[in-house]
Amino acid sequence: MGLFDKIRGEFIDIIEWTDDSNDTLVYRFDRYQNEIKNGAKLTVREGQVAVFINEGQIADVFQPGMYELTTANLPILSTLKGWKYGFNSPFKAEVYFVSTRNITAQKWGTKNPITISDSRFGMLEIRSFGTYVIRVKDAPIFIKEIVGTDGHFTTEEIAEQLKSLIVTRFSDAAAESDFPIEAFAKNLNELSTFVHQVIGPEFEKYGIEVTSFLVENVSMPEDIKKEIFELSRLNAIDLNKLAQMKAAKAMEKAAENESGTAGAGMGMGMGFAMANQMGQSFASGQQQSNAPQPKSSTPPPIPTAVTFFAVINGQQAGPFDINTLKNMVAQKQITKEVLVWKEGMASWIKAGQVQELNSIFGSTPPPIPGT
């Protein structure tokens, strides 16, 4: 290596940025008259992006890595400069380092109450606050839309603008969500996700990604809060059991009180309770009796013929239906004196005493007088 090469090597630039802060988003690498020598070394660390700007126009963008600056890796800048055959002399360009790591613990909140509409309570005013996390997703857009020519841009410079954007979009999202008022305080995760989806595209217009968004609290007027708590308790308990418990306690107090008034009150309370139960039972019975009876889809069973057993010649015979008995009467096999029995009778009785058999014996005239 010659003396000239050694001296020339000592003047080769090293372009880098070591960030020792927690809030710097953009840092401009300062050089005398912004001159960069041929073959300069560029170091872009993890969580950074380097952006070259030529006379106010964004040129080449470098992701994390180490580079030796030549026309091969500066295609846009070479075109802007008109370098057709490379370059050996220093050139002028601004180098901006942009932090792409997550910027955490950013806070937002509503300075003034925002108005929403609820189907039950009407127009209401609520307040809310929370945290969010952002990172620069598109460095050229971020520089163009937000940073401009600021050589040291911090989160503090953009915090108020982002907070105002969040509060505005939160108000719109709260109005569009159709959540009941109690859901704002109870379902914070769901609300956070909903608002995150709304504000995400708005931030991307500035080259920023919202990696996390949390609604930590939603406050409302105290009278509305008390009413919501009361409604939630009523929905959570068994009203019948509550009534029974209160009635039991009232009876215990009445039993402990020895005065006649208390005894009368206890009796009256028990009477009301019994009357209430009887009324419910009566109403239930009325509903059942008034309910339409289902119609049968099948005919009733065919009625069975009535049959009798008879004692003939000292022996049980039968069973015989009415028509058979009528024939037997005609043949003098059965008379009114014959004992008969059918299902349901307690004992044998004479056929002439059974009303159902009167028709088979017919009617006979009484004996002729004087005979």
pLDDT of residue 240: 62
| Residues in Cβ contact with 104 at an 8 Å cutoff, skipping those fewer than 6 apart | 133
pLDDT of residue 279: 47
Q: What are phi and psi of 229, to 5 degrees?
A: -60, -40
The one-digit pLDDT tens for each residue of the chain (371 residues) are 454 444 444 445 788 999 888 889 999 988 766 677 778 888 999 999 999 888 788 888 899 999 988 766 675 666 666 555 455 556 778 899 999 999 998 999 988 888 888 777 788 888 899 999 999 999 999 999 999 888 899 988 888 889 999 999 888 888 777 777 777 777 888 889 988 998 999 999 999 999 999 999 888 888 877 777 676 666 555 556 556 666 776 776 776 665 544 444 444 454 445 445 544 544 454 455 455 555 556 666 666 677 888 888 777 887 788 788 788 877 777 888 888 888 778 788 888 788 777 777 765 555 566 65
pLDDT of residue 5: 46
pLDDT of residue 288: 52
Compute how many other C-beta atoms are within 10 angstroms of the C-beta atom of residue 197: 12
pLDDT of residue 65: 94
Topology at the third CATH level for domain 103-226: Tetrahydropterin Synthase; Chain A (3.30.479)
pLDDT of residue 278: 42
The two structure tokens encoding residue 122: 């009407």
Q: Parse the chain into domains and list their residue ranges.
A: 3-99, 103-226, 307-361
Q: Does domain 307-361 have CATH number 3.30.1490?
A: yes
Of 11, 14, 20, 71, give the one whose Cα is nearest residue 43: 14
pLDDT of residue 259: 52
